[in-house]
Amino acid sequence: MSRDSIQFIRQGRVRRVRDFAPRTTLLDWLRLEERSTGTKEACAEGDCGACTVVLARRRGGRVTYEPVNSCIAFLGQIDGAELITIEDLSRDGVLHPVQAALASGHGSQCGFCTPGIVMSLFAHYHRVSEVMNPVAVSREKIADVLAGNLCRCTGYRPIVDAAVASLAAPVADGFSQTDPERLARLRDLEDGEDVFVGDETSFFAAPADEESLAALLEKHPDATIVAGATDVGLWVTKKLAALPKIVHVGRVAGLDAVADTAETLTLGAALPLGRATPLLGRLDPDVDELMRRFGSTQVRTSGTVGGNIANGSPIGDLAPVLISLGATVELRKGDRVRTLPLERFFLAYGKQDREPGEFVRRLVVPKPSAETRLRVFKITKRMDEDISAVMGAFAVTLRHDRIASARVAFGGMAGVPKRAVAVEAALTGARLADPATWRAAAQKIGEDFSPLTDQRGTAAYRLQVAKTIVVKALAELAGVPGTATRVRPRASAGERPNDREAAHVAS
Amino acid sequence: MSLREKPEVMLRHVRKPLLHDSAVKQVQGAAPYIDDLPEPAGTLHVAVGGAPKAHGTIATLDLDRVRQAPGVVAVITAADIPGKNCVSAHMEDEPILAADMVEFHGQPLFAVAATSRDAARRAVRLARIEIAAAPPAVTVDDGLETGARVLPDYAFLGGDPNAAIADAPLRASGTLRMGGQEHFYLEGQIALAIPGEDGAMLVHSSTQHPTEVQHIVARALGVPDAFVTCEIRRMGGGFGGKETQACQWAAIAAVAARVTGRPCKLRLDRDDDFMMTGKRHDFRADWSVGFDQEGVIAGLDVLLAARCGMSADCSAGVVDRAMFHADNTYHLPAFRIDTRRVKTNTVSNTAFRGFGGPQGILAAERVIDAIAWRLGRDPLDIRKANFYGPGRDRTPYGQVIEDHDVGRALIEQLERMSDYRARRAEIAVFNASSPILKRGLALTPLKFGISFTLASMNQAGALVHVYQDGSVHLNHGGTEMGQGLFQKVAQVAAEEFGIGLDRVRITPTSTEKVPNTSPTAASSGSDLNGMAVQAACRTIKTRMIAFAAEHWSVPEDQVVFENDHVLIGNQRIGFGELARAAHCGRVSLSSTGFYSTPKLHWDRERGTGHPFFYYAWGAACSEVLIDASTGENKVLRVDILHDVGRSLNPAIDIGQIEGGFVQGMGWLTTEELVYDAEGRLLTHAPSTYKIPVASDVPADFRVALYDGANREETIYRSKAVGEPPFNLAVSVFCALADAVEAACPGAGQKLDAPATPEAIVTAIGDFDVVAALAGALAPNS
């Protein structure tokens, strides 16, 4: 069966929408169709957060409340969810605790970013309000939660203060994780039907299972596959791409599945980055920190593991880490499934080994052995919510005082995420605690890479920093403490802030 | 007499940390901005097409495919402008739509009015444009090479700086490059033009300068000023970027509305906003200084070259203000403060919070740091040694500093509060043992001159009505961009009438209500409009007092306004009751108010006068941590002590201080405008242009107000607060330079702004990370 409209809940009512262009963004629908103008557009590229809305979904028997950048989300993506916007929080003239704290704490000046900030904090309120968690109300955590919300007026101090104040003593606000009515309403939307809105020349489709997805893509190999739309959304808002045919993979049952065994971690392509964070973060504190700095809360809510790989960015944060771990990617076209080492998926800038009609199915990540040590460095102009100038990931396997083998991958250093094979060769068999090893390995960066100059850094800076990262990784593995090598010290094992939230975020 | 200043203890609204007037609406998304206003039926949407090259002549502008695109109603070019095709208020150097010459990449060439914004934007891309390109001058250096200027060179000269420097026991010199800055107001540029009868036009414009929008729209339409009204209730941020820069979009929307006869709305996409609107001027400062063994300056020679872009815009005032602040708080016995207003093929740079002041101050502080590094002394000692003081109180522009004692007391208080000396010692210990991470510390003072340096702009008007129920309609020429001006002024009005703030209705700024206004700029909003409103209120009060005294036969000094009532001799009646009675007694309850700042004079030709009514003082102490091998850095702690006189609203003032400081920190750290050699801006959206986020704000951030009244007669003895605290972020840059100097002696002076990780690495130069970390490796591992 197939449904020819999308359905979601807004203000307690089921809304069914059929008449929309496939590329319609959620923000345009809100502002232009609904004339619901509390949600603002400021950048239209998912970076500033002024357009943040919250999507409530049923997951693991609870209601999750997650912040989404509505400017780059497609309207069709909210099928099955409850859409909550800034207009929906205060009830009978009484402000939501987050709103009240922001207003009384002088957390708004020009007020244009304020609705988005309220929605981000509202979502966070429901990650922590029902299970008290001191980490979640720390200033540091609030700053993380707000990394995707730019404010140009206040300097953030009063916003963070207000957030801490409202979160310290949460009260019932009419939105709970366990509200039976809301759960029932959301369950009623889960009809397991394929969604196909439009006609054969122009449609928004959201298949319900993998067979339908494979069949649809075989029929329409020219369709644009959309997972979180954190990249494809910009093709519409910035490049004004037409995108007549959109196939959304977010409803495909099981495509977000996780398998966590002693040997491997398998991540479904449609698994959002936020839900992948505690799983990947458990591999190493550096990976955990990388995931913390990956985009913003909103981007990690929408963006997926498979999307980050499939879009083939030379600086996508996941690829270097997963390549260093020896991950493989599984692709499917029709009934054919094939697997290849992740580094072989990236052919050249903007070109991946994916045929028309083929989709990324899952990623299989071997877990590092007991002798393997990981290090990850992400170098950016701004520490949080920034795209890497250079990123380096190191998986170094030790035997006594020597390096038995090393897998080293970089982002930002070539047209694709790429292994540093000359560095790896220089390390194999070398003595770890010998500064001559560090120097020799770092020198090999020049053989592996000829980076470009762009707005994130010059070629010379990229080369120098890549060499520095090699030295730092080795020095740390040899015993130099992370407190001496990093502005933001490496956490020790078992001290992973993201992990402590795992129970709430992962399904 | 009830018009004299109230005793402090009797103040009911002024001095209170009251909420921003719109705070409760803003947190609910219920405060409308222009794009949220209901659109009149038939509203069209306008998108703008820009030049694909930075410099050259237009060879082809083929818009046929644009006209045929779905939804397009009209295409507007320079030829469609009925009046004058000029967006500059006082010059002839910048068109609304370029007709033949192209002078920067993205320069507006045409506009499309269509039935939806999406249709308009898509149609724009169908244009066929060919430019006979000429090589562009992109950087300050390029512009200096061509010799082109937007305005003549200008200098302050005092004594014989050449001799003073040559004869001094010690000398230093250097070059400091300072980047520009994008305003990144969260609400982008927007205008909605609604045609009226007889050629009239109502323009809703997100502008800090409604009067200039009115004038430029009228001129573009070829109608008298009186036929155009500009209105603005609130902006989603301004920071100087909506002073002159709002005019172009209002003018294009108005021309489109005239051509189509329909309401037209123009809202720039963020990328276009970055590429098509001006920014903070980037500067190059070449300096040389002579000084003695104690670090006391004998003479300073500084050349400030500013990238002005393709036209003058605000460059006259911006570069002048850089000159006015090139002394910061330091006495210069002999000086040459010279300037070049460099013309380049880039977007015309404009006003931005601080208006050139930050660039002048940063240059001054670099000179001080360089002296300290040369002498091996703590920079704070050099700052103190050069501070203005008795007999050393004449500025390079002839104004005598009368309250240098405030500035000195303030830095000494901050030195104690921040525990500066002990931390300096701790940092030295840390740096000696840390291989690649280095800490830096700096305490920098601030003196910021308050007044528009163009004296004629220091005036304001207000319009106040009292209705018969005692409610008050409040209007003035200032605009609200988030800074809390409307709230502060409402507090003044409520205080004057002795009524509750709920009786004071704040209304949108409109050129219909208060004409001929100055922009809300130069930190002057409360100083000017507060006084104008107070004058209007007092006019009405005087009439009400005269009426009451006569009606109830009491002396005038027995009529007192307080707590929503009026005491008239022995009786007490409601404020509304008196209003009704006065109305029945045929007394006017409406008045304008006017204020012009006293004591100002400035002779630019001779470079001397009294351009500032008073100074705002401040100081900040910042501590940073850098990674010398990657340039990554972090601000660890900031202590601020700032002088706002006696605050009208301490919560709003602290908001301005913190927000201004963080914005300044962004300018000096992560906010980098990168142009390519073709003059294309590569950082044109938040994905590539990085303003501070919450985690960039120091975890330890201590802000205090300095306790002291304005010695001049300002509104309730307060001081201006919009721009001065922006400059406190200079302490962050100086602390970063201090850390760079610690990592590599001699490198501090090579650090340019913004101090991005790459700029820090570049300043440090060769850094042997292997050797540094090898030393940190425990010998037995």
For CA atoms B632, A320, A43, B31, give the dihedral sign: negative
Q: What pLDDT shows up at residue B7?
A: 87
**Which three-class secondary structure state does DSSP give residue B327?**
coil
Fold match between domain A7-187 and domain A372-485: no
User: Look-up: residue for tokens 């701004």?
Assistant: A382
Pick among A25, A39, A109 to test the B interface (most B CBs inside 10 A): A109
**How many CB atoms are located within 10 Å of the residue B556 CB?**
14
- Nearest residue, CB atoms, B28 vs list A38, A43, A479: A38
DSSP string covering B265-277, please? EEE--HHHHHHHS
Residues from chain A contacting residue B681 (CB–CB below 8 Å)? none
3-state SS of chain B: helix, strand, coil percent to 5? Answer: 35, 25, 40
User: Look-up: residue for tokens 């197939």?
Assistant: A2
* pLDDT > 90? residue A337: yes
- Residue B159: is it exposed, middle or buried by C-beta count within 10 angstroms (0-12/13-18/19+)? middle
Average pLDDT of the residues in B173-184: 98
In DSSP terms, which residues pair with A248 in a beta bridge? A226
B657 and B640 Cβ atoms separated by less than 8 Å = yes
Res. B1 pLDDT band, cuts 50 70 90: very low
Q: Do B186 and A488 touch (CB under 8 A)?
A: no
* pLDDT > 90? residue A168: no
Q: Using CA atoms, how far apart are residues B12 and B355, in angstroms rounded to an integer? A: 35
Q: Fold for domain A7-187?
A: Ubiquitin-like (UB roll) (3.10.20)
Q: Using CA atoms, how far apart are residues B574 and B497, in angstroms rounded to an integer? A: 11
Per DSSP, helices labelled H in B563-649 are 575-584
Average pLDDT of the residues in A286-309: 97
Among the listed residues A96, A116, A101, A62, the one whose alpha carbon sits nearest the alpha carbon of residue A173: A96
Give the pair of three-digit tokens for residue B611.
């351009």
Half-sphere exposure of B78 (CA within 13 A, CB side): 19
A128 and A170 Cβ atoms separated by less than 8 Å = yes
DSSP E strands: which ranges in A82-132?
82-84
Res. B211 pLDDT band, cuts 50 70 90: very high
**Better pLDDT: B462 or A134:** B462
Among the listed residues A300, A319, A305, the one whose alpha carbon sits nearest the alpha carbon of residue A147: A300
For residue B681, the 8-state DSSP code is: B
Res. B6 pLDDT band, cuts 50 70 90: confident
**Which three-class secondary structure state does DSSP give residue B777?**
coil
Which residues of chain A from 373 to 432 reach within 8 Å of chain B, CB to CB?
379-387, 389
DSSP E strands: which ranges in A51-193?
52-59, 62-69, 82-84
Q: Using CA atoms, how far apart are residues B476 and B457, in angstroms rounded to an integer? A: 15
Residue tagged active-site, from B187, B415, B480, B723: B723
B48 and B276 Cβ atoms separated by less than 8 Å = yes
Q: What pLDDT shows up at residue A501?
A: 46
- Give tens-digit pLDDT for A451-460: 999 999 999 9
Q: Using CA atoms, how far apart are residues A118 and A85, in angstroms rounded to an integer? A: 10
Q: What pLDDT shows up at residue A170?
A: 85
Residues sharing a CB contact under 8 Å with residue B584, sequence separation 6 or more, in sequence order: none
Q: Fold for domain A258-369?
A: 3.30.465
Q: Using CA atoms, how far apart are residues A396 and A418, in angstroms rounded to an integer? A: 16
C-alpha B270, offset from chain centre? 20
* pLDDT > 90? residue B762: yes
Q: Using CA atoms, how far apart are residues A465 and B519, in angstroms rounded to an integer? A: 46
Average pLDDT of the residues in B621-644: 98
Q: Using CA atoms, how far apart are residues A65 and A51, in angstroms rounded to an integer? A: 16
Q: Using CA atoms, how far apart are residues A377 and A391, in angstroms rounded to an integer? A: 6
Percent of chain B with pLDDT over 70: 99
B430 and B439 Cβ atoms separated by less than 8 Å = yes
Contacts for B580-583: CB closer than 8 Å, 24+ residues apart: B580/B468, B580/B469, B580/B470, B581/B547, B581/B548, B581/B551, B582/B543, B582/B544, B582/B547, B582/B548, B583/B468
* pLDDT > 80? residue A493: no
Average pLDDT of the residues in B163-187: 98
Q: What is the CATH class of A372-485?
A: alpha beta
Percent of chain A with pLDDT over 70: 95
Q: What pLDDT shows up at residue A93?
A: 87
Q: What pLDDT shows up at residue B309?
A: 98
DSSP string covering A253-322, please? TTTT-EEE-SSEEEEETT-BHHHHHHHHHTT-HHHHHHHHTSS-HHHHHH-BHHHHHHT--TT-SHHHHH
Alpha-carbon distances of B431 from A26, A53, B173, B639, B659, rounded to whole Å:
52, 46, 27, 21, 31
Residues sharing a CB contact under 8 Å with residue B486, sequence separation 6 or more, in sequence order: B21, B22, B478, B480, B506
Res. A494 pLDDT band, cuts 50 70 90: low
- Nearest residue, CB atoms, A487 vs list B236, B437, B659: B437
Average pLDDT over chain B reads 97
For CA atoms B79, B82, B88, B93, give the dihedral sign: positive
- Give tens-digit pLDDT for B366-391: 999 999 999 999 999 999 999 999 99
What's the N-to-C CA distance of chain A in angstroms?
A: 28
* pLDDT > 80? residue B719: yes
Per DSSP, helices labelled H in B376-473 are 379-386, 404-417, 420-433
Q: Rg for chain B (alpha carbons), in Å? A: 28
Q: Fold for domain A191-248?
A: 3.30.43
Residues from chain A contacting residue B690 (CB–CB below 8 Å)? 381-382, 386
- Could you give phi then psi for residue A366, rounded to 5 degrees? -65, 140
Average pLDDT of the residues in A42-51: 98
What's the N-to-C CA distance of chain B in angstroms?
A: 84
Give the pair of three-digit tokens for residue A419.
């292994």
Q: Rg for chain A (alpha carbons), in Å? A: 23
Read off the amino acid at residue B89: A
Res. A500 pLDDT band, cuts 50 70 90: very low
For CA atoms A447, A453, A455, A460, give the dihedral sign: positive
Q: What pLDDT shows up at residue A169?
A: 82
Which residues of chain A from 444 to 483 reach within 8 Å of chain B, CB to CB?
454-458, 461, 464-465, 467-469, 471-472, 475, 478-480
Q: Using CA atoms, how far apart are residues A354 and A249, in angstroms rounded to an integer? A: 16
Res. A504 pLDDT band, cuts 50 70 90: very low
Residues sharing a CB contact under 8 Å with residue A188, sequence separation 6 or more, in sequence order: A14
Domain ranges of chain A: 7-187, 191-248, 258-369, 372-485
* pLDDT > 60? residue B277: yes
- Give tens-digit pLDDT for A28-39: 999 999 999 999
Q: Residue A107's closest chain B neighbor by CA?
A: B23
Percent of chain B with pLDDT over 90: 98
Average pLDDT over chain A reads 94
Q: Using CA atoms, how far apart are residues A426 and A52, in angstroms rounded to an integer? A: 48
Percent of chain A with pLDDT over 90: 90
Which domains does chain B possess? 8-31+459-596 (3.30.365.10), 400-450+613-781 (3.30.365.10)
Average pLDDT of the residues in A90-96: 92
Q: Using CA atoms, how far apart are residues A288 and A294, in angstroms rounded to an integer? A: 10
Q: Using CA atoms, how far apart are residues B547 and B589, in angstroms rounded to an integer? A: 11
Q: Residue A236's closest chain B neighbor by CA?
A: B118
Read off the amino acid at residue A463: L
Chain B touched by A39 (CB under 8 Å): yes
* pLDDT > 70? residue A497: no
* pLDDT > 80? residue A135: no
* pLDDT > 60? residue B623: yes
- Give tens-digit pLDDT for B324-356: 999 999 999 999 999 999 999 999 999 999 999
For residue B723, indicate whether it is catalytic.
yes
Q: What pLDDT shows up at residue A499?
A: 43
ipTM over 0.90: yes
Q: What pLDDT shows up at residue A226?
A: 98
* pLDDT > 50? residue B437: yes
Q: Do B774 and A435 touch (CB under 8 A)?
A: yes
- Give tens-digit pLDDT for B106-132: 999 999 999 999 999 999 999 999 999
**Model pTM?**
0.97
A155 and B661 Cβ atoms separated by less than 8 Å = yes
Residues from chain B contacting residue A35 (CB–CB below 8 Å)? 38
Q: Using CA atoms, how far apart are residues A339 and A359, in angstroms rounded to an integer? A: 12
Residues sharing a CB contact under 8 Å with residue A282, sequence separation 6 or more, in sequence order: A288, A496, A499
Residues from chain A contacting residue B777 (CB–CB below 8 Å)? 433, 435, 475, 478-480
Q: Using CA atoms, how far apart are residues B47 and B114, in angstroms rounded to an integer? A: 8
* pLDDT > 70? residue A505: no
C-alpha B129, offset from chain centre? 36
